[in-house]
Structure 1
Amino acid sequence: MRLDEDPPSSPADVVVGLSTGAVAQHLGVAATTLRSWERRYAIGPAFRIGGKHRRWLPEDITRLEEMCRLTARGVPPSEAARAARISVAGVSRDTGGASAGSGRSPGGPSALPLGAVRAECRGLARAAVRLDAEAVEVLLERAIEDHGCVVAWEEIIAPTLHAAGRKWVSSGERYIEVEHLLSWLVSSALRRPYRRRQPPREGIRPVVLACAPGELHSLPLEALWAALRERGLPAKMFGPALPVGALSEVVRRVGPLMVVVWAQGRPSAAAELVSAVEGVEWGVRGARSRSMLLVAGPGWDSVPQAGSRRLTGLRSGLDLIEQRLLS
C-alpha cells in the first residue's frame, strides 16, 4: 500500500448511525449529558467513525431510551444504566438481533400526548417530563436559533406546552410541575438575544404588548415580542394583568402605533380596553394621533367588539403588524 492511499474501510467507517447531537435532539437530552453517561456508566455507542466520531446504532438509542425512562422515574443513573444494558441485551437476543425496543411506545405512560409533531417537539417533551432543565434550555435555544421564533413557537414550543397542559388535566394535576418548568424556561429562552435578531429599525413607532386585566398567561404574547424583535421591530412588553388605567397611561406616554392585548379567558372589561387605547390621543399639539388596538387570544372569541381587530396566529399577526408599521 502506498502512503498516500486511504486505508481500507473498517466496520466503524461504513456503519450508518446517528451523531450525538441528533440523538440528543431525539431524546431531549443535552449532548453533554450523553457524553457524561458514556464516560461514567459505559453506556456509549458501539462504533465510532475514524476512532473519534460517535455513531449511535438503533440498539444504542434503545438503551438510552430505557435509561431516560428509568431516570425519569427517579432511578439513580448508575442503576438505570446497568438495568438498561441488561434489558436491551435481553431484547436483542429475544428478537434475533432485530432493532431493540421497536415495539415499545416512546416514553411510556408518562409521555406527553403530542400526536403528529416534529422530532424536536418530541425531544423537548421528553426532557420536560424528566424535569431536565439543562436539556430543555439547550433544545429551546437550538429550536429558536435554527428555525426562528415563529416556527419554533408554532411547531415545537406551543404543541409541547399544550400537551403538557392536557397531561396534567387528565392525570389529576400530577404533571403540573412539568408545565411550570417548561413555561418558565420558554419565557427565559424567548428573552435571550439570538443571532437571528436584527438590529432595531429607526424611525418606527413602537408596538405595545400587554395582557388584559386579570390575565396571567403571557407566553403567547412573549413569543410575539420575541418575533418582533427578531425582525428589528420596536416593541414594549408590559406583561400579565395590566389594569385598564395603566394601559391608558402607557398609550399616552409611549405613543404606540399599535397596541396588542392578549386574553386567554374572556376579558371582563372589553369596552373599557377599547376606550383605554383608541380613546387616548398622543403627540404634539396640532398633530395628535391615536393608537390602533389589536386583540389576540381565545378570550376574545365571544367579544363582539373584537371584530376586525383580531389577530389569529403568530405568523399572520406578525406579518400584519410589520406591514402596518412599515407602511
Structure 2
Amino acid sequence: MKTDEQPLSPPVVGMSTGAVAQRLGVAAGTLRSWERRYAIGPAVHIAGTHRRWMPQDIARLEEMCRLTAQGVPPAEAARAAWAKAARTFEEGTEEDAPATGGRTPGGPAALPLGPVRAECRGLARAAVRLDGDAVEALLDRAIEDHGCVAAWEEIIAPALHAAGRKWASAGERYIEVEHLLSWLVSSTLRRRYEPRLPTRDGVRPIVLACAPEELHSLPLEALWAALVERGLPVKMFGPAFPAEALVEAVRRVGPSLVVVWAQARPAAATELVGAVEGVRWGVRGARSRSTLLMAGPGWSSVPQAGSRLLTGLRSGLALIEQRLAD
C-alpha cells in the first residue's frame, strides 16, 4: 500500500553536553571552550538539536581528561586524544567501543570509588585534576538537584572517603586532592546556606560543636547545612571546641539540643558528657537542661551514647526531629 507519509526521522542518540560534563567531572563551559580552542567537540552535529556526544566523542574527552589530570597542557592533550582516536579507528574498534568500557577514566590516578552515582564519579575526577571551578559547579548542581542530605550521602561523602583512601594508600600523594575537595565542600555549604534565615517558630537553637582536639568538622558542617535547609535555628562552634567553652555556650544560648561530633574517641569522654548535661540555663525557678546528642564514630564505644548516637546524616536528622517533637 502506498502512503504519502514521510518516514520518521531516526531518534537522536548520544548524550547532551550537560550530561557529559557531569559524567566526566568538568564544567559544561570547559567542554565548549575545548571545542572552540582544540576542536575536541562532537564529530557529528545534528541540525536543529543541541550537541549530542557519541561514544567515540566521549572516549576522546576521557583521554583528554586523563592527560590534563597528569599535568599535560590542554592543547597537547587534545592532539594526543585525537591521535589515539585515529589509531583506534584504523584498528577498527572505535565504532563499537562503549562510552566508558567499564573502566574509570584517569587510569591509576583515579579515586577508588566503587559503585557510585555518576555525579560522584564526575566530582572525583574534577578533584583529581584540581579543577576547582568544576568541583564548585558540580557541588552546586548536586545540592540543587538532590538537596543537602542526598548530595552529601550519595555524592560528596563517597568522593571524600575515596580521596582519603587514595591518600592513605599512596603515601603523601593525593593529600592535595583531599584538601582541595574538603575546602570547596565547606565553602560551598556556607555560601549556599549562610544567607538562609530560620523559618520554624517555637524551636530553641541547636548547638553544634566538635569535641576538644577534634579537627575534622566537615560532617558536622553537613549537619549544620541540613538543619538550616529545614529552617531550624543553629549555632555552629566548629572544630576542637574546648569543653569549658562548650559548657559556657550552652549556659548562654540555652539550646534545645547540643550535638558534639567526634571522629575519634574524645579524651575524657565521660567527663565531657557529664559537664554538658549538668548545665542548667534560664531564670531561677524555671531552669532547663539541654538534650545532648553524640555524632560520629568516636562515640560508638562510649557507654553514655546509646540511643543518643547519630550514625549518619539522614538518620541523625530523624533523631533530631524526634527529640524536638518530644
TM-score class, shorter-chain normalisation, is over 0.9
C-alpha deviations, 1:45-66, integer Å up to 9, x for none? 1233434511000000000000
C-alpha deviations, 1:81-137, integer Å up to 9, x for none? 011011012113313432267375432000000111111110000000000000000
Q: 1:99 is matched with which residue?
A: 97
- Contact 2:213–2:240 under 8 Å retained in 1: yes
Is 1:21 matched with 2:18? yes
- Residue type of the alignment partner of 2:292: L
Q: 2:251 is matched with which residue?
A: 252
Give me the whole-angstrom Cα distance separating, in 2, the residues matched to 1:206 and 1:236: 7
Q: 1:159 is matched with which residue?
A: 158
- Residue type of the alignment partner of 1:61: I
Is 1:111 matched with 2:110? yes
Q: CA deviation at 1:9?
A: 7.4
Q: 1:79 is matched with which residue?
A: 76
Is 1:35 matched with 2:32? yes
Query: In the comparison of the two structures, how many residue pairs are matched?
Result: 319
Q: CA deviation at 1:320?
A: 1.5
C-alpha deviations, 1:163-189, integer Å up to 9, x for none? 000001101121110000000001111
Is 1:45 matched with 2:42? yes
Give me the whole-angstrom Cα distance separating, in 2, the residues matched to 1:258 and 1:231: 15
- Contact 2:69–2:106 under 8 Å retained in 1: no
Q: 1:3 is matched with which residue?
A: none
Give me the whole-angstrom Cα distance separating, in 1, the residues matched to 2:35 and 2:48: 15
Give me the whole-angstrom Cα distance separating, in 2, the residues matched to 1:8 and 1:75: 47
Structure 2 residue matching 1:259: 3-state secondary structure = strand
Give me the whole-angstrom Cα distance separating, in 1, the residues matched to 2:147 and 2:104: 31
Matches within 5 A, 1:311-322: 311-322=310-321
Give me the whole-angstrom Cα distance separating, in 2, the residues matched to 1:7 and 1:209: 66
Give me the whole-angstrom Cα distance separating, in 2, the residues matched to 1:73 and 1:236: 42
Percent identity, aligned pairs only?
77
Give me the whole-angstrom Cα distance separating, in 1, the residues matched to 2:257 and 2:91: 64
Give me the whole-angstrom Cα distance separating, in 2, the residues matched to 1:305 and 1:91: 62
Q: 1:278 is matched with which residue?
A: 277
Give me the whole-angstrom Cα distance separating, in 1, the residues matched to 2:143 and 2:121: 16
**Cα 1:92/1:199, change in 2 over 3 Å:** farther
Give me the whole-angstrom Cα distance separating, in 2, the residues matched to 1:290 and 1:30: 49
Is 1:120 matched with 2:112? no
- Residue type of the alignment partner of 1:253: R
Q: CA deviation at 1:36?
A: 0.4
Give the TM-score taking structure 2 as reference length.
Answer: 0.93
Is there any run of 5+ residues in structure 2 with no aligned partner, and where? none
- Residue type of the alignment partner of 1:232: G
- Contact 2:63–2:105 under 8 Å retained in 1: no
Q: CA deviation at 1:201?
A: 1.1
CA RMSD of the aligned region, Å? 2.1
Q: 2:266 is matched with which residue?
A: 267
Structure 2 residue matching 1:241: 3-state secondary structure = coil
Q: CA deviation at 1:291?
A: 0.5
Structure 2 residue matching 1:191: 3-state secondary structure = helix
- Contact 1:205–1:325 under 8 Å retained in 2: no
Give me the whole-angstrom Cα distance separating, in 2, the residues matched to 1:250 and 1:105: 48
Give me the whole-angstrom Cα distance separating, in 2, the residues matched to 1:132 and 1:7: 48
Give me the whole-angstrom Cα distance separating, in 2, the residues matched to 1:7 and 1:191: 56
Give me the whole-angstrom Cα distance separating, in 2, the residues matched to 1:95 and 1:212: 60
Q: CA deviation at 1:272?
A: 2.3
Q: CA deviation at 1:7?
A: 9.6
Q: 2:215 is matched with which residue?
A: 216
- Contact 2:163–2:174 under 8 Å retained in 1: yes
- Contact 2:254–2:282 under 8 Å retained in 1: yes
Give me the whole-angstrom Cα distance separating, in 1, the residues matched to 2:51 and 2:298: 49
Structure 2 residue matching 1:193: 3-state secondary structure = helix
- Residue type of the alignment partner of 1:72: A
